[in-house]
Amino acid sequence: MAACEYFNCEPWIGIYVETEKYADLYLISLEHYEGCYKTKEDKAIDDWKMNDKYKEAYRKDEDIWKIHLDFDLIKWGF
């Protein structure tokens, strides 16, 4: 946060989720995350829920930017 204040920048969070078939990258401001998605209980590590309900909410949320990549594994493995 000190670096953001020094450079007059807004803090953002990047969340990368990968499966065997695809990857999703979510970008969200720290302020929006804390106001809408952070749990109210005090935790050592915050989480980013990935059940269907939350994925739909993220999709509809205009303040979250998302990149979706589908993997086409042609020749991968041993």
- Which tens digits make up the pLDDT trace of 20-62? 899 999 999 999 999 999 988 888 888 999 999 999 999 999 9
Q: Pull the structure tokens for residue 9.
A: 């920048």
Let me know if residue 6 belongs to a domain.
no
Residue 59, helix vs strand vs coil: helix
- Domain coverage including residue 36: 11-70
Count of domains forming the chain:
1
Let me know if residue 3 belongs to a domain.
no
Let me know if residue 77 belongs to a domain.
no
Residue of 14, 30, 9, 11 whose CA lies nearest to 66: 14
pTM, rounded to two decimals: 0.80
